Structure 1
Amino acid sequence: MRLSNISFAIVSLFLCQFVVVPVILDTRWATTAYGEDWPQWMGPQRDNRWRESGLLKQFPEAGPPVVWRAPVAGGYSGPAVAGPHVFVTDYVTKDKIEDENFDRKTLTGIERVWCLDRKTGESVWMHSYPVKYDISYPAGPRCTPLVDETRVYTLGAEGHLHCFEKNTGKVLWQLHLPTHYNTKTPLWGYAAHPLIDGDRLICLAGGEGSHAVALNKFDGKEVWRALTSSQQGYVPPLTIHAAGTRQLILLHPDAMESVSPVDGSSYWRVPYKADYGSIIMTPVHVGDRIYAGGFNNRNLMVQLNEKSPAAETLWQDEKKTALSAVNVQPFVEDGVMYGFDQSGWMHGVDFKTGKRLWESTAPIAGGRPGNSATAFIIKQVPPDDKDRDQERFWMFNERGELLIAKLTPEGFQEIDRAAVIQPTNSAYGREVVWSAPAWSNGHIFLRNDQECICIDLRAK
């Protein structure tokens, strides 16, 4: 394993002046053969595919070069990259942060939204607002900023929804979801990444008849509200096209449901039961099937009707089957689903049947992994057919390591790995970093509870 040189600035949580730490002399920003933004959670098409070529095949002996480091405070939210900017959110508090599952912790502090210069990491603008936390795992916001044209949307851990002018940080509108919809923040905070659908911003709000809401993305006014669930849940909304109909898939602790993304009217409902209200992953849609898996083997495979917007359960709650995904979105490739189970093991799974093809602890620890061990998975997909030999998987694990790998029905094959950022948070008695990276123009953008960094992954 090759280790990059990791140095960390000691930054006061209430630092007024934003200081960028330069770490290399060469900061040229020539693009790769092809590059695109990463403007939201899971990328531009929300599919965890990095459409890029001209990248490293293995890491340099000293590790991949760090372009810049910028100080941030606590948070699980990943960065978003759009045009010349990087957006990231954090939480500043003087209170002691204790990460004990199922226990709400009360803290006082401020949430911040940062806009950084993509090339240098310097602050372009910052917006802050006071927030009292009363959630489990209170380190900071969960949701990746969402960039759409000239606007950027952020959703804080206690349900503070903002729309900013992207270039200036001017607040265009804001809404506090728990107050507006007369509900309480879920145990683990607001964590379902919002979705843009046309002129609508779709969010999980919670409350009676308002599990999901669509807001006019320009002014924040409500377009529709739909569904009621016993608990709000944490699953990001998903749009699909099936039976000639665009459908919005909403998975909550009581059911998987399909509604119209235009007006919220119901298409179908399949019962589901989540333990402790804990269902996090976005349902995976492949062909005529949708899969979801949650805490304690609460899995569900649904078959879609090909002629009309309807669905039925194929199998459910099968032990040692498929994945009980907790923190990581599974990835499906050629009929095989790759991902991490609640146990921390990585599995390759036959998508249709849920049969486990193989398991491995190598991506994270090599030994027995910890509960909910996490590694984020994306696939590099070169846009030009002549570069197909560059296809590979990239993974970022909770230990702060970046991996290059092959994933096949036969197993996990590591090509290389490098330590790139320190795990500064904690979970289940171990140090972790639980934040999904952004991948854009030959670079990876990462954050922990101390800094946001940019690393150059281009082949030289």
Structure 2
Amino acid sequence: MRALLFLLTSVVLHADDWPQWLGPQRDAVWRETGIVESFPEGGPKVLWRVKIGGGYTGPAVVDGRVYLMDRQVAAKESVPGNAFARGIIAGTERVLCLDAATGAKLWEHVYDCTYTMSYSTGPRCTPLVSGGKVWTLGAEGNLLCLDALNGKVLWSHDFKTDYGAKTPMWGFAGHPLLDGQRLICLCGGPGSVAVAFDKDTGKELWRALDAREPGYAPPTMIEAGGVKQLILWHPQSVSSLDPATGKLFWLHPWEVRAGLTVATPRLAGDLLLFSSFYTSSKCFKLDAAKPEAQLLWEGKSFSEKNTDTLHSLISTPFIEDGHIYGVCSYGQLRCLKLDTGARIWETFAATTGDKPVRWANAFLIKHEDRFFLANEHGDLIIAKLTPKSYEEISRVSLLKPTTTDPRRAVVWSHPAFASKCVFMRNDEEIVCASLAK
């Protein structure tokens, strides 16, 4: 009976879910209606707050449940004072399931996980939820498939043990991608930058690509040239694969400094955009008849300060009506032309307020004719982004910044939007606030 109720609830609430990184269609668009146009005086109604541990993991919201991951450091363990240092830090990772209406804990799964990466606050990847299962990837490469109803582990892989992968400098951070029966993960190890697993059994279906390191950009699915293409961006190349077999369609070499392939690739029509912190942006034109691509334009700057097009780090750019909106290396929210990369305007209003700050960030989520922006101060902003300007409509502070890895307190976790609410977390709590009109 419980399983039947779970299925029926899934059918009813599917349209309101936020089941993975960047939402239902993995495109950073929130499609619910009946949402506030500006915040009421005093801010939106906070429905609940729940204490949690540290982590960069954004929440997923499905069938009236919230799924997220956090980290607990073992007693008497010391975290390196320099966040770039790679200590050996004992502790646990946890997969947590909460009731979306009340914040009550429904279940948790905890496992030992010694951290060896830099920026050791907690796990990075947003849980992926579908068909009564939840898949999670921890910062040390622990891939789990759990029953979404009760948290029972159905299968698991350890990327370091199973594939000889080494923990990247900033941990395993490529959000898993579901493609039909295939769960596609950024893994690492010889010949296994990407690995496809059977989503139900965990059986390996294929592995592909060699590289010094896997990078951090999530696997991305597009359709172009008459076929589906799996786009993988690691620090040595942009690659397109056949998602069914892992065979290579096309490849463009690209040496990216410090392994910083992070921002999700973005497709608009036949143009595919990538943006990197040190090495600027590249835009490819995809062939209409076959799976091939030609470089349309690229930035020339290799500097984080003297930038030219867009040097994204954490924030994924958004493309609309031939224009790119994205956050550059020092917090500049910029508008650029998609076909040339030419910059039109920039502002610090949404990120730092008035000055450049290294790695300053805001996440961009489109809703109808405006955007919700969640910045690193814990603010949620409603604003219009057009080729003319940044126009702020409303702003509220929902969380305090707690992560001190970048030598200042920040919130670097992507929010979820579901059931006419926003779900945001820092290293101490997750908050649910109503955004219903």
TM value normalised by structure 2: 0.93
Mapped to 1, the partners of 2:313 and 2:203 lie a distance apart of 33
User: CA 1:35–1:269 in 2, change beyond 3 Å: closer, same or farther?
Assistant: closer
Name the residue aligned to 1:423: 401
Question: Conserved in 1, the CA contact under 8 Å of 2:297 and 2:341?
Answer: no
Mapped to 1, the partners of 2:143 and 2:404 lie a distance apart of 27
Amino acid at match of 1:378: I
Matched residue count: 418
> Could you say what secondary structure the match of 1:415 adopts?
strand
1:53-452 alignment runs, 5 A limit: 53-93=33-73, 94=75, 95-98=77-80, 100=82, 102-319=84-301, 320-381=307-368, 391-452=369-430
Mapped to 2, the partners of 1:317 and 1:91 lie a distance apart of 38
Question: Conserved in 1, the CA contact under 8 Å of 2:277 and 2:328?
Answer: no
Listed one character per residue, the Cα deviations across residues 411-455 of structure 1 (whole Å, up to 9, x for unaligned) are 111001011111111143321010000001210001110111100
Question: Conserved in 2, the CA contact under 8 Å of 1:288 and 1:306?
Answer: yes
Amino acid at match of 1:191: A
Q: CA deviation at 1:98?
A: 4.3
Amino acid at match of 1:446: M
Listed one character per residue, the Cα deviations across residues 184-203 of structure 1 (whole Å, up to 9, x for unaligned) are 11000000000000000000
Computed over aligned residues only, the root mean square deviation of the Cα atoms, in angstroms, reads 1.5
User: CA 1:298–1:364 in 2, change beyond 3 Å: closer, same or farther?
Assistant: closer
Relative contact order (alpha carbons < 8 A, sep ≥ 6): 1 or 2 greater? 1
Mapped to 2, the partners of 1:298 and 1:417 lie a distance apart of 30
Question: Conserved in 2, the CA contact under 8 Å of 1:225 and 1:264?
Answer: yes
Q: Structure 1: where are the runs of 5+ without partners? A: 1-32, 382-390
User: CA 1:323–1:101 in 2, change beyond 3 Å: closer, same or farther?
Assistant: farther
Amino acid at match of 1:70: V
> Could you say what secondary structure the match of 1:312 adopts?
strand
Question: Conserved in 2, the CA contact under 8 Å of 1:322 and 1:351?
Answer: no
Listed one character per residue, the Cα deviations across residues 208-241 of structure 1 (whole Å, up to 9, x for unaligned) are 1100000000010100000011211001011111
Mapped to 2, the partners of 1:103 and 1:352 lie a distance apart of 40
Listed one character per residue, the Cα deviations across residues 239-297 of structure 1 (whole Å, up to 9, x for unaligned) are 11111111101111011011100010111101111001111011111122211111213
Amino acid at match of 2:215: G
> Could you say what secondary structure the match of 1:256 adopts?
strand
Q: CA deviation at 1:357?
A: 0.5
Amino acid at match of 1:426: T
Question: Conserved in 2, the CA contact under 8 Å of 1:370 and 1:428?
Answer: no
Q: Structure 2: where are the runs of 5+ without partners? A: 1-12, 302-306
Amino acid at match of 1:196: L
Question: Conserved in 2, the CA contact under 8 Å of 1:272 and 1:300?
Answer: no
Amino acid at match of 2:315: V
Name the residue aligned to 2:10: none
Aligned identity (percent) is 44
Name the residue aligned to 2:6: none
> Could you say what secondary structure the match of 2:88 adopts?
strand
Question: Conserved in 1, the CA contact under 8 Å of 2:54 and 2:72?
Answer: yes
Question: Conserved in 1, the CA contact under 8 Å of 2:213 and 2:259?
Answer: yes
TM value normalised by structure 1: 0.89
Question: Conserved in 2, the CA contact under 8 Å of 1:297 and 1:323?
Answer: no
Listed one character per residue, the Cα deviations across residues 32-90 of structure 1 (whole Å, up to 9, x for unaligned) are x9951000010000011000221222212211111011110000000000012100100
Residue of structure 2 aligned with 1:38, choices 18, 41, 52:
18
Listed one character per residue, the Cα deviations across residues 301-353 of structure 1 (whole Å, up to 9, x for unaligned) are 22212221111222334234331110111111111111101121110011111
Mapped to 2, the partners of 1:380 and 1:322 lie a distance apart of 25
Structure 1 window deviating more from structure 2 (404-413 vs 54-63): it is 54-63
Mapped to 2, the partners of 1:151 and 1:99 lie a distance apart of 38
Question: Conserved in 1, the CA contact under 8 Å of 2:280 and 2:310?
Answer: no
The list of structure 1 runs, each at least 4 consecutive aligned residues, that deviate by more than 6 angstroms after superposition, is none
Question: Conserved in 1, the CA contact under 8 Å of 2:299 and 2:341?
Answer: no
Mapped to 2, the partners of 1:146 and 1:34 lie a distance apart of 14
Amino acid at match of 1:231: E
Question: Conserved in 2, the CA contact under 8 Å of 1:253 and 1:278?
Answer: yes
Mapped to 2, the partners of 1:79 and 1:344 lie a distance apart of 24
> Could you say what secondary structure the match of 1:432 adopts?
coil
Mapped to 1, the partners of 2:68 and 2:418 lie a distance apart of 15
> Could you say what secondary structure the match of 2:161 adopts?
helix
> Could you say what secondary structure the match of 1:178 adopts?
helix
